[in-house]
Amino acid sequence: MSDKYVHGYHPRENERLHDQAGTLVDLLHSDTKYARGSSVLEAGCGVGAQTVTLAQRSPDARFMSVDVSADSIAEARRRADRAGLTNVEFRRADIFALPFNAEAFDHVFVCFVLEHLSRPLEALAVLKRLLRAGGTITVIEGDHGSTYFHPDSLEAHAAIQCQVMLQREAGGNALIGRQLYPLLVEAGFDAVRVIPRMVYVDSSRPDLVDGFTRKTFTAMI
Ligand SMILES: C[S@@+](CC[C@H](N)C(=O)[O-])C[C@H]1O[C@@H](n2cnc3c(N)ncnc32)[C@H](O)[C@@H]1O
């Protein structure tokens, strides 16, 4: 992998990915359901934090989940086995050298991956070639520049800015959310639709204070 994955593969980060997926499950997955018999490529599945939700919500679809990290794939397999999933296959593979034929999939799912790549446009073009005519791609990415606080906190913004800079130095782009439309259009996708999803947290939502603010966002920074 030429890009350096800024969050690394420490067990605490693996746990954070599961916390993130768990706390955002409805926000991210409420409208993702794949039809019976369809084949879905999940590119950059990490430790399988999104995979379990995807496969459980579309039990009659078949998933091929890949990641460049062999350790993450091994962990994802363990998770899927524990969840009793039978509709997912995992493979270690780099998005830029995927071992699949053109038009092999009906759908592609990408979550929090393009933001770590120095060539996100090329990655989208690669994924597009793997889609059958009429297939779809779902891309979920963050945008750390869209964070607001009350009371406002210069320290919090400065800490986030450090993350943005570190990710940039590692070849990625923590502000990629705002670029998804032009990237997808330039990669040749049509009927592109961007749906901004907001995470709003205050103390009347203790689950999100814990699951998102503490265990997902602050833990990442
Ligand atoms: C933030 S994690 C997201 C994992 C998962 N999609 C999720 O939402 O929990 C980003 C993942 O992208 C993977 N990745 C980075 N570059 C990759 C590449 N070139 N090919 C495949 N996977 C890659 C990393 O190994 C890491 O597991």
Residue-wise pLDDT tens digits, 107-135: 999 999 999 999 999 999 999 999 999 99
**Shortest-distance Cα residue to atom 26 of ligand 1:** 46
- The DSSP string of 109-145 is EEES-GGG-S-HHHHHHHHHHTEEEEEEEEEE---TT
Q: Is the CB of residue 144 less than 8 Å from the CB of residue 220? A: no
pLDDT value for 3: 76
**Across the strands, what pairs with 107?**
40, 136
Ligand 1 centre to CA of 85 (Å) is: 21
- For the chain, percent of residues with pLDDT exceeding 90: 93
Q: Is 193 helix (H, G, I), strand (E, B) or coil?
A: coil
Q: Could you read off the pLDDT of 150-208 as tens digits, one per residue?
A: 999 999 999 999 999 999 999 999 999 999 999 999 999 999 999 999 999 999 999 99
C-alpha distances (whole Å) from 23 to each of 52, 130, 132, 203, 210 are 14, 31, 32, 15, 9
DSSP state of 191: S
Whose C-alpha lies nearest to ligand 1, atom 12?
44
Whether the predicted pLDDT of 83 surpasses 50: yes
CA 20 to ligand 1: nearest atom: 9
CA of 46 to the centre of ligand 1 (A): 5
Q: Which residue has the tokens 């493979």?
A: 91
Q: What is the pLDDT of residue 1?
A: 43
- Please, what is the Cα angle at 27 between 174 and 14, to 5 degrees? 55
- On the question of pLDDT at 13 being above 80, the answer is yes
What residues line ligand 1, using a CB cutoff of 6 Å?
Answer: 1, 3, 5, 7, 17, 21, 44-46, 49-50, 67-69, 72, 94-96, 111-113, 116-117
Asked if 51 contacts 65 with a C-beta cutoff of 8 angstroms, the reply is yes
Kindly report the average pLDDT of the chain as a whole number.
96
Pocket test for ligand 1, best of 19, 29, 67 (most atoms within 8 A of CB): 67
The minimum-distance atom of ligand 1 relative to the CA of 3 is: 16
